[in-house]
Structure 1
Amino acid sequence: MKRPFTRLEKKQLLIFALIAFGIPYLMGIPMAFGYQRGTSLDFFANAQMYYPAAGAIVVFLLTKTEFPMPRRFFYGYLVLTVLFAISSVLSVLIPDANLWVMVINMLTIAGNLALWVLFLLDKREVRFIWGLTWSGPDSRRHFLYVVLFFMLFTGNLLISSFTDNTADSFLALFASPMFWLSLLSLFVSFFLVFSAFFGEEYGWRYFLQPILQEHFGMRKGVLILGVFWGLWHLPLNLFYYAPDTRLQSIAAQLITCIALSVFFAFAYMKTDNIWIPVILHFMNNNIAGLISGSTVSGAVIEWKAVLIHLIFYSIFFLPFLASKVFRESETEKK
């Protein structure tokens, strides 16, 4: 450990943990109830993505009052988070799948449009203080990291497809113009759904990562964050993603989160732009579904698949832990 935590940092981490981890784990109770009843838990999966940023925002509002804040955006985000949390519980108490599909779509689109308005109403210099602007060194080249992630992610899927004899259909999909049109429309939709992915990245990458890196080192801090991030998914692993193969789901989740924590940290540290990991997270969650056409809930995961997952994610993403950006940062800390 680099240095002990200050009293203020302990207070900040406690507030963050109570919201970012406490709410999802408490939500595990109605999730278990809904799972037993066979109720859709989609609302819980969407709502959970908002809690890390909500935790960070509450920390800032309570402990950093000496700085001007984008209060319109911050308060708007908290309101949307509360609406998602309440709707999640109601979706179990009033199990009407068609109703809640409509509610989640309306809340997502209306909420994101409202957040963009509030975002733009706050002054740019204030947003800059809180890492909300598209800034950082050589910002026009930041999309290169988006392209790099797309290549790594699809390359990983391609190599993996040879292990389950789906390579031919995978390559045929990439040869189809409809796939590229769907991919383009997917990126356009980002502006209507960004808040969920911002929800995780502003909490994990902007708030928690620097604290862990400062206290445990640049590399170890990122790996610890990956473990926390993976365990944060626990209620979803137990009742949503793969409830029939829970241990395999938890193992695969930890592998994914540790590996992606490395690359997302690499991209964030190279750009100092939180919107890059937000976009990368959006791509990770949506491109796989676009390619496979499968849903994220109710999967059955074999241990063989977990092993393959470990091998390929380690090959494609863990090498970035040796990046110069981590070594430079370590030197600066000494």
Structure 2
Amino acid sequence: MTQSKKQALIFLLTAYLLPFLLGGLIYYGKSKGLDISLLPAFQMLTPALAVSLIILNGRKERNPKVKRAFLTYVFFTGLFLLASIASLFMKNLPQNVLVIVFSLAFLVAIVSIPKDLKKAYGLDLSHKKRILGVLGIFLVLYFLRGALGSLAEKNFQEFLTYLTWNKLVFVLALVVNFPLSFIFFFGEEFGWRFYLQPLLQKKFGMVQGTLLLGLAWGIWHLPLNLFFYSAPGSGFMSLVNQLFVCVSYGIFFSFAYNYSKSIWTPVLLHYFNNNLILLFSKNMDPSIIENQVLTWPSVLVTGLLMLVFFGSFILSPYNRKPLHRRPDLEEIQEEIEKLEVPHENMEK
């Protein structure tokens, strides 16, 4: 088996098969009225888990600080899987403490990686202005899309009632909270944007690769669409809605990653997207994402607005010209072969 096929197999088994198998536990827990909220959170960790295993198994010699960072991630993911399963049968588990401790430990491990290796893995912050600029564009489009969606569904006044000063404090708190919980959003984006996006763009071209990634990302949500997000009878509509969202965001996140040259950009976008939904919950209740009752008109309105506001970035040169394609993992590892020799000598 070639190295490429081995890596693809590890990714498929870890990022896809594992979540689909755990979908059975989500279904079981939901049917029994158990707390299943940790299982979807664990699913977010699986794409980066797959890439971590690929990196750790790729070569015998590697920089110890890189190894330490990804071993930290793998260890946390294993513990969180155990906690997720245990949460079906036990209450008051200290999962928040676990998340905070390992988010900070993983962040410290990433910071310790030599600068050139951070850059190779898309982990550096060299282009801070671009990162913040893309985040600003995303937030403007996010609220504009929400406002137009509420107008289309004739509930704009209700939309305005959610935008209170208390909610503004919550948004500011999100900034402070990011280092304490970013690990889940890193979990998805390091898998989708760092690993799979360059691979698909190299094989199928910039535009086709970006669209295929959006579809692959959407289908990955299938167990959640069927057993977590949707009310009974809404599973298929939930999946269609998910495909609209993932293809559209996949296009914008692809632009964000290629433009900023940092995985932290899509991580930030994903973090704010998932957390800002709490603004539109009267009691800031995370369960707003569960048991959603959908209609075809609402799905089509959402899909159209997503494609207009975020899908239109398919026209960006950062999504169209091969010049801006990020290297895939094999190309990165070839470069790291050259970079790591000096680091290994320095360590000695």
TM-score (norm 1): 0.90
| Structure 1 unmatched runs, 5+ | 1-5
Please state how far the C-alpha of 1:178 moved relative to its aligned partner. 2.3
Instruction: Give the corresponding residue for 1:127.
Output: 118
Alpha-carbon distance in 2 for matches of 1:322, 1:66: 41
Residue 170 of structure 1 contacts residue 291 of structure 1 at CA under 8 Å; is this kept in 2?
Answer: yes
Matched position secondary structure for 1:162: helix
Distance 1:10 1:91, change over 3 A: same
Matched position secondary structure for 2:294: coil
Instruction: Give the corresponding residue for 1:306.
Output: 299
Please state how far the C-alpha of 1:131 moved relative to its aligned partner. 2.0
Matched, 1:45 2:68: no
Residue 72 of structure 1 contacts residue 122 of structure 1 at CA under 8 Å; is this kept in 2?
Answer: no
Instruction: Give the corresponding residue for 1:181.
Output: 169
Matched, 1:105 2:96: yes
Please state how far the C-alpha of 1:330 moved relative to its aligned partner. 6.3
Matched position secondary structure for 2:152: coil
Q: Which amino acid aligns with 1:91?
A: S
Q: Provide runs of 4+ in structure 1 moved above 6 Å.
A: 330-333
Matched position secondary structure for 1:192: helix
Alpha-carbon distance in 2 for matches of 1:319, 1:124: 34
Q: Which amino acid aligns with 2:237?
A: Q
1:17 is aligned, of 12, 18, 25, to 12
Instruction: Give the corresponding residue for 2:311.
Output: 318
Render the CA deviation track for 1:223-253: whole Å, top value 9, x for unaligned: 1111111111111111111141111111111
| CA RMSD across the alignment | 2.0
| Structure 2 unmatched runs, 5+ | 327-348
Alpha-carbon distance in 2 for matches of 1:108, 1:134: 23
Matched, 1:257 2:234: no
Aligned residue pair count: 320
Matched position secondary structure for 1:70: helix
Distance 1:332 1:62, change over 3 A: closer
Alpha-carbon distance in 1 for matches of 2:246, 2:221: 10
2:79 is aligned, of 78, 83, 106, to 83
Instruction: Give the corresponding residue for 1:3.
Output: none
More displaced, 158-167 or 109-118?
109-118
Residue 241 of structure 1 contacts residue 297 of structure 1 at CA under 8 Å; is this kept in 2?
Answer: yes
Distance 1:52 1:331, change over 3 A: closer
Aligned positions of 1:1-334 closer than 5 A? 7-68=2-63, 70-92=66-88, 94-96=89-91, 99-100=92-93, 103-135=94-126, 138-174=127-163, 176-244=164-232, 245-292=234-281, 293=284, 295-329=288-322
Residue 52 of structure 1 contacts residue 203 of structure 1 at CA under 8 Å; is this kept in 2?
Answer: yes
Residue 217 of structure 1 contacts residue 330 of structure 1 at CA under 8 Å; is this kept in 2?
Answer: no
Please state how far the C-alpha of 1:140 moved relative to its aligned partner. 2.8
